[in-house]
């Protein structure tokens, strides 16, 4: 159950409204680095969580917090548009040079939402659930969450640098601080699991694959990795092997010898099988059709 309070998660103040900056803010809402991504990611990880309920509660609590962050940013977009000078809109409509670049303004802020935010990025591309990582494995999800917060915090610092508005800078200070905590809490879960190993944690590399699991395949033909490279020498992070440099040709195999294709795939006569004349029985698609018909 979700309950909404009318209070914002943090105060939003815009001292100098800027419709161009409103467009930049959209990236933090609907981009792959944005709040809609982490909101959806944490909520679905929590919805699907099994086992120890404290991890489910942690994910749902943080996912709910991210809903509030979307509201904060949507409010910031609206406030940056509220004071937009009408001549800025007129310029887009009348000046061909400005119109070509849209003056940096997202036209749908005026045409579609009436001075409001959209669930899209800075280029107007709608938010995609394809950005969401919810793999159903706690270790994998925690690593995905650390990465999501890391790239999100990086975007936040860039948007902080992109404005001189004191109110906007104050808002970003808060959101950047929260991104700090979120990175730290996901790292803390991984530490609590006492498992710096790979996800999932219940599959071991055995036999000949134990060596493959910790070998750095050196595909750089110009020079070997540095002698002190952490990923190429010394004990592995999980303590189960030794990093070493491996010649990728050691595991190479002959190129595949693919069979000719049936005639009805139409890859050309040079790739057609013996029944290419159509007289040796049904082709591949014909067999599929017969199977579906049954």
Q: Does residue 218 share a domain with residue 90?
A: no
Judged against a pLDDT cut of 60, whether residue 149 lies above it is answered with yes
- Please give the pLDDT value at position 88: 57
Cβ distance 208 to 238 under 8 Å? no
Task: Examine residue 281 and state whether it is found in any structural domain, yes or no.
Answer: no
Q: Is residue 232 domain-shared with residue 187, that is, in the same domain?
A: no
Residue ending a domain, choose from 192, 224, 241: 192
- Other CB atoms within 10 A of residue 121 CB: 22
Token representation of residue 11: 């105060």
Classify residue 279: in a domain, yes or no.
no
pLDDT value of residue 276: 45
93 and 130 in a single domain? The answer is yes
**Residue 159 belongs to what domain range?**
19-192
Asked whether residue 222 falls in the same domain as residue 184, the answer is no
8-12, 193-197, 219-223, 274-278, range with the lowest pLDDT? 274-278
Look at residue 183 and tell me if it is in a domain.
yes
Domain CATH code at residue 162: 1.20.1260.10
Residue 293 · residue 286 · CB < 8 Å: no
Please enumerate in sequence order all residues whose Cβ is within 8 A of that of 207, keeping only pairs 6 or more positions apart, or say none.
none
Residue 41 shares a structural domain with residue 160: yes
**In-domain check, residue 201:** no
Kindly provide the residue ranges of all beta strands, DSSP E only, lying in the chain, ordered along the sequence: 215-217, 234-235, 242-246
Task: Share the mean pLDDT of the chain.
Answer: 86
Structure tokens that stand for 265 in this block: 């795939």
Whether 185 and 223 share a structural domain:
no
Same domain? For 68 and 144 the reply is yes
pLDDT confidence of residue 246: 86
- Does 59 fall in a domain? yes
- Is 275's pLDDT higher than 70? no
Q: How confident is the model at residue 204 (pLDDT cuts 50, 70, 90)?
A: confident
pTM: 0.81
Cα–Cα dist 2/17, whole Å: 32
Domain count, the chain: 2
Whether 204 maps to a domain, the answer reads no
Q: Please check the confidence at residue 156 and state whether its pLDDT lies above 60.
A: yes
| Contact status, residue 42 vs residue 63, Cβ threshold 8 Å | yes
pLDDT at 278: 46
Same domain, 220 and 178: no
Percent of the chain with pLDDT over 90: 52
Shared-domain flag, residues 168 and 219 = no
Would you say residue 277 lies in a domain?
no
Same domain, 36 and 165: yes
Tell me, yes or no, whether 126 and 235 share the same domain. Answer: no
Q: Could you tell me if 76 and 175 lie in one domain?
A: yes
- Does residue 99 surpass a pLDDT of 70? no
Which of the residue ranges 22-26, 106-110, 153-157, 200-204 would you say has the lowest mean pLDDT? 200-204
Name the strands in the sheet holding 234-235, side by side, starting at the edge strand that comes first in the sequence.
215-217, 242-246, 234-235
Q: Between helices 35-47 and 138-161, what is the axis angle to 10°?
A: 160
Range name among 35-44, 51-60, 78-87, 159-168 with the lowest pLDDT average: 78-87
- Ranking 48-52, 80-84, 129-133, 155-159 by mean pLDDT, the lowest is 80-84
Specify the pLDDT at position 282.
64
Q: Which carries the bigger pLDDT value, residue 11 or residue 281?
A: 11
């Amino acid at each position: 159950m979700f309950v909404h309070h009318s209070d914002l998660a943090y105060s939003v103040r815009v001292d100098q409204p800027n419709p161009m900056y409103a467009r930049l803010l959209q990236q933090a809402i609907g981009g792959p680095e944005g709040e809609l991504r982490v909101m959806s990611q944490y909520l679905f990880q929590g919805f699907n969580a099994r086992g120890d309920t404290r991890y489910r509660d942690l994910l749902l609590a943080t996912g709910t917090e991210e809903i509030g962050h979307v509201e904060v940013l949507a409010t910031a977009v609206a406030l940056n548009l509220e004071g937009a000078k009408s001549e800025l809109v007129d310029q887009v409509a009348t000046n061909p040079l400005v119109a070509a670049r849209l003056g940096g303004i997202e036209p749908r802020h005026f045409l579609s939402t009436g001075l409001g935010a959209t669930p899209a990025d800075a280029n107007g591309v709608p938010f995609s659930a394809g950005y969401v990582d919810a793999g159903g494995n706690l270790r994998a999800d925690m690593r995905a969450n650390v990465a999501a917060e890391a790239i999100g915090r990086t975007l936040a610092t860039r948007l902080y640098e992109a404005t001189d508005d004191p109110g906007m800078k104050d808002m970003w200070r808060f959101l950047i601080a929260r991104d700090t905590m979120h990175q730290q809490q996901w790292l803390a879960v991984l530490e609590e699991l006492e498992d710096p190993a790979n996800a999932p944690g219940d599959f071991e590399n055995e036999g000949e694959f134990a060596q493959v699991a910790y070998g750095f395949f050196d595909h750089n033909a110009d020079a070997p990795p540095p002698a002190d490279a952490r990923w190429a020498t010394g004990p592995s992070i999980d303590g189960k092997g030794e990093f070493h440099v491996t010649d990728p040709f050691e595991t190479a195999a002959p190129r595949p010898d693919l069979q000719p294709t049936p005639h009805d795939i139409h890859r050309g006569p040079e790739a057609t099988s013996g029944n290419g004349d159509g007289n040796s029985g049904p082709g591949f698609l014909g067999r599929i059709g017969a199977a579906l018909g049954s």
